[in-house]
Structure 1
Amino acid sequence: MGGTLWRGYDKAALDRQINLRARTPEHVEFFARWAEDSRRVRAAADGRLDLPYGDQPMQTLDFFPAGKPDAPLIAFVHGGYWQSLDKGDFSYLAPPFIEAGVAYASINYSLAPGATIPQMVDEIEQAIAWLYENAEDLGFDREGIVVAGHSAGGHLAAMAAVCDWSRRDLPHDLLRGVCAVSGIYQLEPIRLSYQQETLKLDAAAVGACSPQQRLAALSPELAPAILLAVGEEEPEEFIEQQGEFLAAWRGQGLAGAELTLPGRHHFSAIDALGEKGHALHEALCYLAQNGAIS
């Protein structure tokens, strides 16, 4: 038997926490519905698809305008354990935001094993910078950008929250807010799990790309407000990580809030983001429109 690796888990127990698809076999039905609903949206909506924000094949995004130049923007980063899924699978989230007067973008990025997590972090920063610089052409308020993401995308969104944008000659306070759903804020348990075979994380990447280890340099004046959400039926590791990250975030004097989503597992949690009237959707719209947690 192996010894304890993380939070009292041995290797087998940790893998059970991390293996979301095994835990929720019906994930295939969610993937199929997301793809079909998104296909319908792309066919009907006034979107600008496959806009390049870089030179690599996966460095593209889809943009759906809200029809007014002062609209804020939700820039969404998909999950898939940094290895799968696509921006096009999440077009279905666009209509409720557009109806609320919020523009929507869905971002692609290079995936493992062809890309490392540090490369993905850099690409998401590049995409956000491109959106900021092209806001007038696209038709939204560059001072109203909120980055949202689910699962691995929640991790990448949280990395955007701790980014030093001055490295890209952009304003320190570039983001109005960040929303991470079912996010991962410490990468060490991922490195210790079965996912390491594909992701090949080293100690440097764990340190540089774990949002919780990047908080010390943030100031309350410049950091975006952050909204975290996790399903009530998700693995304990995801619930624990959210609570620890929010506590560390608030410990820096930063503005943050969390929601627990009753009756939601990892794959149904993201649907709440696009459900009109749901507390998560309403809170994200408020964050985009006001730069504050409702």
Structure 2
Amino acid sequence: MTDSREVLTRPAPPPDLTLRYGPHPDHVVDVRLPAVSPGPLVVVLHGGFWRSAYDRTHTGPMASALASAGWVVAIPEYRRTGQEGGGWPGTFEDVAAALDAVPSLLEPYTAAPPVVLGHSAGGHLALWAATRPAARMRAVVSLAGCADLGMCSDLHLDDGATDLLLGGSPAEVPDRYAAADPVRLPLPSAPVRLLHGTSDDRVPIEVSRSYAARQGAPLRELPGVGHFALIDPLSGAWPAVLESLCPW
């Protein structure tokens, strides 16, 4: 099964709307609408190891495909490491603010609480956000998510991206890991689903296995699937992604 990074730069139709949820230039949400609305709402948190080198634009093909499948799709941007205010705690503050604002921003187009879906670093942010007392979501779906930050730090994924996000290792900033690492937090009240490919060479499947074992969350392992296939609507893994969003 192919797993090409080409999906990251593949052209896609532009968003139908771009709305603001705060004052920073990155406090924006791209919205793609289905042909018939209102429809169910999915909030997609993009990946990229929380780094400023990766923004929401690479999710264009995925977002367009979800809209074609009948979803109202909201993709928030957030401050990331490598830019002022990114990392701890700004990245987390932005994701929380975006998730709190999106339902009211999209009231004309959808009435339902969102399903929150995240890929890679976005999977971590989705699982973290779902543990907040103020969280209002129908379900959370993690695609190849960085669901165990301690393990991600130990594995030195993407040249230490986790330590850069939190400002150190678990031994150096234990309080931050306690507050930000999904395996150290209570299981979200919303249903959780994990998808991860067995051939992922960016975020090893052991990261999701750790979360599933410690939290009792269901994990669907996709044989032969790599990291980027999960956000590629042209890949053989895409039907599994759509199935993970239903029947929510």
- Residue 96, structure 1, aligned to residue 65, structure 2: yes
Structure 2 match to 1:80: 48
Which whole-Å CA distance do the structure 1 matches of 2:240 and 2:234 have between them?
Answer: 9
Matched, 1:232 2:202: no
1:283 aligns with 2:244: yes
Tell me which residue corresponds to 2:9.
35
Give yes or no for the alignment of 1:243 onto 2:205: no
1: CA distance between counterparts of 2:46 and 2:203? 20
Counterpart of 2:147 in structure 1 is: 185
Alignment of 1:1-294 (within 5 A): 30=5, 32-38=6-12, 41-42=13-14, 47-49=16-18, 51-83=19-51, 84-114=53-83, 115-137=86-108, 139-143=109-113, 145-165=114-134, 174-192=136-154, 193=156, 194-195=159-160, 198-199=164-165, 200-201=167-168, 202-215=173-186, 218=188, 223-235=189-201, 238-250=204-216, 256-271=217-232, 278-284=239-245, 286=246, 290-291=247-248
Whether the 8 Å contact between 2:62 and 2:231 is mirrored in structure 1 is: no
- In the alignment, the residues of structure 2 paired with residue 275 and residue 234 of structure 1 have an alpha-carbon distance, to the nearest angstrom, of 15
CA contact (8 A) 1:79 1:149 kept: yes
Closer, same or farther in 2 for the Cα pair 1:273/1:180, shift >3 Å? Answer: farther
Alignment: residue pair count: 235
Q: Please say if residues 118 and 209 of structure 1, whose CA atoms lie closer than 8 Å, have aligned partners that are also in contact.
A: no
Relative to structure 1, is the Cα distance of residues 131 and 184 closer, same or farther in structure 2, using a 3 angstrom cutoff?
A: same
Aligned to 1:3: none
Deviations 1:91-134 (A, max 9, x none): 11123322322111112110103311432122111111111222
Long gaps (5+) in structure 1? 1-25, 166-171, 251-255
For 1:128, the aligned partner's letter is: L
Provide the secondary structure at the position in 2 that maps to 1:90: helix
Partner of 1:19: none
Tell me how far 1:277 sits from its aligned partner.
6.6
* Structure label with greater radius of gyration: 1
Q: Which residue of 2 aligns with 1:168?
A: none
The answer to whether the 8 A contact 1:261-1:269 is kept is no
Per the TM alignment, residue 205 of structure 1 is displaced from its structure 2 partner at its CA by: 1.5
1:188 Cα offset (Å): 2.1
**How far 1:235 moved relative to its partner?**
4.5
TM-score under structure 1 length normalisation:
0.71
Aligned pair in 2 of structure 1 residues 243, 271: CA closer, same or farther (>3 Å)? same
**Percent identity at matched positions?**
24
For residues 147 and 70 of structure 2, what CA distance do their matches in structure 1 show? 30
Q: Which has the higher helix share?
A: 1
- TM-score between the two structures when normalised by the length of structure 2: 0.83
